[in-house]
Amino acid sequence: EVQLVESGGGLVKPGGSLRLSCAASGFTFSSYSMNWVRQAPGKGLEWVSSISSSSSYIYYADSVKGRFTISRDNAKNSLYLQMNSLRAEDTAVYYCAREGGVATGFDYWGQGTLVTVSS
């Protein structure tokens, strides 16, 4: 059974940093691109970042470029999101999602972890 479990969320002050993790199991993690998607309270889904299977290709939404860094450790079946210079508008539930490909979309999602940026 495919499982994605996020952790690392919490309350952080504006300008602070946080590192999210996503532990993957039930599939060959090193064969899939992975993504972070966020959802602000009461709002829609927003794609944040993606990383290819071997970390060769990394992309970011303009809203987080230069502040967030995506990475992965295939030996540990884990995905990460380092978030720096956090702003109030970064407050959201952050989901990790497995990408099946451009023609498949995001076929598995974690349960999400809440990040709250507030003084």
Partner 1 sequence: SYVLTQPPSVSVAPGKTARITCGGNNIGSKSVHWYQQKPGQAPVLVVYDDSDRPSGIPERFSGSNSGNTATLTISRVEAGDEADYYCQVWDSSSDWVFGGGTKLTVL
Q: Does 27 bind partner 1 (CB under 8 A)?
A: no
Region at 25 (left for phi over 0; alpha for psi -120 to 50; beta for the rest): beta
**From the CB of 19, what's the least distance to partner 1, in Å?**
21
Considering the complex, what minimum distance in angstroms separates the CB of residue 75 from partner 1? 26
CB nearer to partner 1: give 3 or 85.
3
Q: Which is nearer to partner 1, 27 or 59 (CB)?
A: 59
Taking only Cα atoms into account, the Rg of the chain, rounded to an integer number of angstroms, comes to 13
Q: Which of 102, 79, 63, 70 is nearest to 30 (CA)?
A: 79
Q: How many degrees, rounded to 5, is the angle at CA 39 between CA 6 and CA 34?
A: 45
In contact, 36 and 96? CB cutoff 8 Å:
yes
User: x/- site string to partner 1, residues 49 to 88, per CB under 8 A?
Assistant: -x--------x-xx--------------------------
Which residue ranges make up the site for partner 1 (CB under 8 A)?
35, 37, 44-47, 50, 59, 61-62, 95, 100, 102-107, 109-112
